[in-house]
Amino acid sequence: MPALSAAEIAPMPYVREIRAAWLKVRADRKRMAVDELELALGTGIHGLLGPNGAGKSTLNRTVATVMQTSLGRTETDTAACWT
């Protein structure tokens, strides 16, 4: 088995732009996890910072289309999902 170089095993940066407009995601019947978020991320590596319960994981799941939005629109440079 040939040896791999560091460039071959290095993580690839995310190459898509992500946008969200008027994004609302309900955590349960009473709580709104994400409320009217507007977001535009260019290509590259980004991080989300915030306290527990701020909606970071919910936002990631929504952008990955694992969760549905209650209202609003998310899109990448190749696809759009909205309600």
Ordered by start, the domain boundaries in the chain are: 13-82
The reported pLDDT for the residue numbered 52 is 92
The reported pLDDT for the residue numbered 19 is 87
CA 41, CA 17: separation in Å to the nearest integer? 6
57-77, pLDDT tens digit by residue? 888 888 888 888 888 888 777
Q: Where are the alpha helices (DSSP H) in the chain?
A: 6-9, 56-63
14-50, pLDDT tens digit by residue? 567 888 888 888 888 888 888 888 988 887 778 889 9
The pTM of the full predicted model, rounded to 2 decimals, is: 0.66
